[in-house]
Amino acid sequence: NMALVPAIANRAVGGKSFEKKKELLFSKAEPFHFSLLVNKYDTWLKSDIEDRQRHLAAVAKRVWRIDVQ
């Protein structure tokens, strides 16, 4: 799993296709904001996951910035 979703919802979609999972899990209000960003992808290939990982890393650097003097 590369996106946070409630465990019960994750079990419910099981081995469904990415398109079906996207429809069922990320088309509604999602308690995990960054999981909604999955909607921008048409596929969920290694390159898509790496792109999302770069985006999340950039956000993390801004949020958890450490000022060193």
Read off the pTM.
0.63
Residue of higher predicted confidence among 36 and 57:
57
The pLDDT of residue 64: 92
pLDDT-based confidence at residue 1 (cuts at 50, 70, 90): low
Cα–Cα distances in Å, from 3 out to 65, 67, 68? 23, 29, 32
pLDDT at 58 over 90: yes
Cα 64 to its chain centre, rounded Å, is 19
The pLDDT > 90 percentage for the chain reads 26
- For residues 36 and 30, is the Cβ–Cβ distance under 8 A? yes
What is the rounded distance in angstroms from the CA atom of residue 47 to the CA atom of residue 50?
Answer: 5
pLDDT at 2 over 80: no
pLDDT at 30 over 70: no
* Spatial CA neighbour of 27 closest among 59, 56, 5, 11: 5
